[in-house]
Amino acid sequence: MNEFERVGVDARHSPPGATIDPETSLGWLRRLRPVILEHRRALIVGVVAGLIALIAQVSVPAVARSAIDATREGSSGQLTTLVIVLVTLGLARFALGAAYRYALFEVAWGVETDLRALLYDHLTTLSFSYYDRTQSGEVISRANSDIRSIQVLLAFGPLILMSTIAFAIAFGFMLTIHVKLALVALCTLPFVYLFGQQLRLTVFPLTWVGQARMAELATIVDESVNGTRVVKSFAAEERQLNLLARSADHLRWVNNEAFRARSTWNPFIEALPRIGSAIVLLYGGLLAIDGQVTVGTLFAFNAYVVMLQAPFRMFGFLLLQSQRANAAATRVYAVLDEPAEIADAPNAPPMTRPQGVIRFDDVHFTYPGSAQKPTDADTNFNGHDSDARPAVLNGLTMSINAGETIAIVGRTGSGKSTIARLLARFYEADSGTISIDGHQVTDVTVASLRHYIGLVFDEPFLFSTSVYDNIAYGVPNASRVEVERAARAAQAHDFIMDLDDGYATVVGERGYTLSGGQRQRIAIARTLVENPAILILDDATSAIDVTVEEAIHHALDDLLASRTTILIAHRLSTIALADRVLLIEDGVVAAQGTHHELMATESRYVQILAETSDPPPAGSTNPDHPNPDRTNPDHTNPDHTNPDHTDPDHTDGDRS
Ligand SMILES: Nc1ncnc2c1ncn2[C@@H]1O[C@H](COP(=O)(O)OP(=O)(O)OP(=O)(O)O)[C@@H](O)[C@H]1O
Ligand SMILES: [Mg+2]
C-alpha cells in the first residue's frame, strides 16, 4: 500500500518553438510558415536530396537511349560506360530517394505534432464559454483528421512540386531531340488532368461531407460511452444504437459515393499511359523506320510517357489535397484564433495569499452566446441572441468578511453557481467589480487567483488514476502527510483505507467505481490539499450524510482558522453551518442575515427554503432541539431534514 506510484504529474511537455502567424489575412500556408521553418534543416535536406534523386530518375531514359544506340553502333566500350552510369544513377536514386522521403516526412510529422501541441495549448487557455458552445467531437476531429490533412499535404506537396520540375526538365530534353514526337508523346496528358479534374469535382465535396460526418459520429460515440449510465438506466440502448447506426450509415454513403467516383474515373486515368505508349510507338516507330529517330530515342520517349503521367496525376492529387488542407487549416486556425477571453492583464502581478475579503459591487452578468454550434453567421446571430438572454446577475452587491462562513441560498437557476464562477473568473462580469482583499480579480494573474480559490462542484470529476493522485492533483508534490491530512479533513481517509489498495487504488473513469458521496469527499480533499484561502462548496456535500458533513466542517475549522467559506446549498443542515445567509433572487441579494433572522423576517426566504428543501421548514426555529440529526431515523437521506433540524445554534456549539 505504501509503494504507490505517482502517475502523470510531472510536466514533460515543452511547447513548439513557434506558433502560427497571427495575421489572419494571410493564406494558411503562409501563416504556417513559422512552424514549418522550425524544421528547416530537414526541409532543406529533403528538397535537395529529392531534386537530385528526381534528376537522376529523369536521366535514366536519356542514358538508356544512348546505351541502346551504342549497341547499334557496335561500341562495346561506350556501352559498358553507359551501363555503369545507369547503375550509378540507380544507386543515387535509391539512396537519395530514401533520404528525401525520410526528411520530408520528418518535417510533416514534426509540423503535425507541433500543430497538435499548439492546438491543445490553446484549448487549455479557452474559457468556459468556448466549451459551452463547442461539441467535443468537433474538437477531436480538428485535433485528429484536420491536422492529418495538413500533414499529408506537407509530406507530399514538396515531392509533387519537385516531380513537376523534373517533368519540365524531361520535356525540355524531349523537345531538343524531336519536337513533334515530344508533343505527340504528351498528347494524352491533358486528358489525365481532365479526368482527374472530373474525379476531384465529385470526390472533393464528398470528402468534405465525410469529415463532418466523422465528427458527428465521434460525438455520438463519445456521448454513448460517457453517457452509458444514463442510456442504460432508460434502457435506451436501442435508440442510441439507432443514432449511431444512422450516423455510421451516412458516413458509409459518403465513402461509397466517393469510391464509386474513383472506380469510375480511375480506369480511364490508368488507361491513358498505355494509350500514350501506343501512340508513341506508332508515330515514333514510323519515324524510326524512316530513319528520323533512333530506336534508343523511341525507347526513351516511351519510358518518359509512362514516367510523366505520375506528376500529372499527382498534381491533381496535390490540388485536391491542398483544398482539403486549406479547409482543415481554416478549422484548426479558427480554434487557434479564438481569443482567450480570460487572460492575464498586461503585467498583472500574481495574487498573494489573501485574507479572504470578498466584494461584489453592482455586478451584471449574462451568459454569452448560445449553446448551439457556431456557424458562419454566428457573430451576428450571437450578438442578437445574447440580448435576448435574461441577465443572471442584475447589479449584485455583496461583501463577505475574511474568515466568514457564508451560505448562498436561492432558487435553482438563480445564479448561485454563477457567482462562484465569476469569482474564480471562469467568466467575465459584464459590468461592476469583483474584488478579493481590495484587488479586482481582473488585475491579478488568473493562475494565482484560482490557486487561492478552492472550488468544489456537486458532480466532481475524478481522473482515472489512483486516489492519491486525484487528491494531490492540484499540488503534485504534496507530501503523503498533507494528502492524508486533507483526506481526513474531508472524512475520506477511513473509507480510502478500506479500499483494496488504499490510496493507491485506481478509480474507474470519472471515479465511477466510488459512490457519489465518496467522490464528493475525494473532491473536497483535493481542494483542501491546495489549502485555499477561499473555499467554495457548490452543493459539494449534497451526496454526503448530514453527520459526515458536519464532521467535515469541524475538521475544516481545525485545518485553518482564517478561511473564507462560501456554502452553496439547498440543505438546511448545511445552511445552518453559516455565520450569515445571503438570499439571491432576481440577480441581486434580496436579503441577508443569520438563518434565524431571515426565518423570522423574510417571508421570501421561508418560501424559497420551503420550495428547495424538504420538508418545508415551517416552525423550524425551535431552539430547544440540540442535535436533531442524530435522532432522525431518516438522516441517511441527505435531503430529508426534519423541521426541527434547522436550528443553527446546535452546530455553533459543536464548532467552537
Ligand atoms: N454555461 C452556461 N451557459 C448559458 N447559460 C447558463 C450557463 N450556466 C448557467 N446558465 C444559466 O444561468 C442561470 C443561473 O445558473 P446557475 O448555475 O448560476 O444557477 P444556480 O443558482 O447555481 O442553480 P442550481 O441551484 O440549480 O445549481 C440559469 O438560468 C442557467 O440556465
Ligand atoms: Mg448551481
Closest CA to 518 of 547, 483, 545: 545
From the CB of 413, is ligand 1 less than 6 Å away? yes
Residue with CA nearest ligand 1 atom 25: 412
Ligand (nearest to CA of 408): 1
Give the 3-state DSSP-derived string for 268-320, with helices as H, strands as E and coil as C: HHHHHHHHHHHHHHHHHHHHHHCCCCCHHHHHHHHHHHHHHHHHHHHHHHHHH
Residue with CA nearest ligand 1 atom 18: 415
Residues 6+ positions from 237 with CB-CB distance below 8 Å: 231
pLDDT for the residue 618: 44
What is the Å distance from ligand 1's center to 401 Cα?
25
HSE value, Cβ hemisphere, 13 Å, CA-based, for 93 = 13
With contact defined as beta carbons under 8 Å apart, do 445 and 363 qualify? no
- Cα distance between residue 112 and residue 143, in whole Å: 9
Identify residue 424 by its one-letter amino acid code. A
Beta bridge partners, 361, equal: 433
Q: Grid coordinates representing 462? A: 475524478
For 124, 408, 409, 534, 536, the CA distances from 417, given in Å and listed in that order, are 22, 9, 11, 15, 10
Which ligand 1 atom minimizes the distance to the CA of 418?
A: 18
From the CB of 542, is ligand 1 less than 6 Å away? no
Q: Grid coordinates representing 244? A: 449511431
Identify residue 468 by its one-letter amino acid code. Y
From the CB of 412, is ligand 1 less than 6 Å away? yes
Q: Grid coordinates representing 40? A: 528547416
Compute the Cα dihedral for 476, 478, 483, 489 and give only its sign: negative
From the CB of 414, is ligand 1 less than 6 Å away? yes
What is the residue whose three cell numbers read 501512340?
Answer: 279
What is the distance in angstroms between the CA of the first residue and the CA of the last residue of the chain?
36
From the CB of 416, is ligand 1 less than 6 Å away? yes
From the CB of 571, is ligand 1 less than 6 Å away? no
Which ligand 1 atom minimizes the distance to the CA of 410?
A: 21
From the CB of 415, is ligand 1 less than 6 Å away? yes
Which ligand 1 atom minimizes the distance to the CA of 132?
A: 1
Residues 6+ positions from 367 with CB-CB distance below 8 Å: 129, 132, 386, 389, 392, 418, 427
Closest CA to 317 of 207, 202, 197, 212: 197
Q: Grid coordinates representing 251? A: 458516413
pLDDT for the residue 438: 92
What is the Å distance from ligand 2's center to 481 Cα?
33
From the CB of 390, is ligand 1 less than 6 Å away? no
How many CB atoms neighbour CB 120 within 10 A?
Answer: 13
Instruction: Determine whether domain 458-531 maps to CATH 2.60.40.10.
Output: no
Which ligand 1 atom minimizes the distance to the CA of 612?
A: 25
Residue with CA nearest ligand 1 atom 29: 413
For 67, 253, 301, the CA distances from 78, given in Å and listed in that order, are 8, 60, 21
- Hey, where are the domains in the chain? 28-337, 398-428+438-456+534-543+563-656, 458-531
Beta bridge partners, 435, equal: 359, 440
Identify residue 231 by its one-letter amino acid code. V
Which ligand 1 atom minimizes the distance to the CA of 415?
A: 18
Mutate to test the pocket of ligand 1, among 417, 541, 568, 583 (most ligand atoms within 8 A of CB): 417
Residue with CA nearest ligand 1 atom 19: 413
From the CB of 426, is ligand 1 less than 6 Å away? no
From the CB of 611, is ligand 1 less than 6 Å away? no
From the CB of 127, is ligand 1 less than 6 Å away? no
Q: Give the orientation angle of helix 147-177 with respect to helix 295-337, to 10 degrees.
A: 150
pLDDT for the residue 561: 57
Which ligand 1 atom minimizes the distance to the CA of 419?
A: 18
pLDDT in tens, 623-652: 334 333 333 334 434 444 343 444 434 433
Q: Residue 614 gets which letter from DSSP? A: B
Which ligand 1 atom minimizes the distance to the CA of 370?
A: 4
From the CB of 417, is ligand 1 less than 6 Å away? yes
28-337: CATH number: 1.20.1560.10
> Could you tell me whether strands 405-410 and 564-568 are parallel, antiparallel, or unpaired per DSSP bridges?
parallel
Ligand (nearest to CA of 415): 1
From the CB of 134, is ligand 1 less than 6 Å away? no
What is the Å distance from ligand 2's center to 542 Cα?
12
Beta bridge partners, 440, equal: 435
Mutate to test the pocket of ligand 1, among 372, 392, 574 (most ligand atoms within 8 A of CB): 392
pLDDT for the residue 564: 92
Low-confidence ranges of the chain (pLDDT < 50): 1-9, 370-386, 615-656
Superfamily of domain 398-428+438-456+534-543+563-656: P-loop containing nucleotide triphosphate hydrolases (3.40.50.300)
Q: Please indicate whether the domains covering 398-428+438-456+534-543+563-656 and 458-531 agree at the CATH topology level.
A: yes
Which residues of 422-578 form beta strands (DSSP E)?
431-436, 439-440, 453-456, 534-538, 564-568
Give the containing element (helix H, strand E) for 581. strand 580-585
Mutate to test the pocket of ligand 1, among 382, 418, 421, 612 (most ligand atoms within 8 A of CB): 418
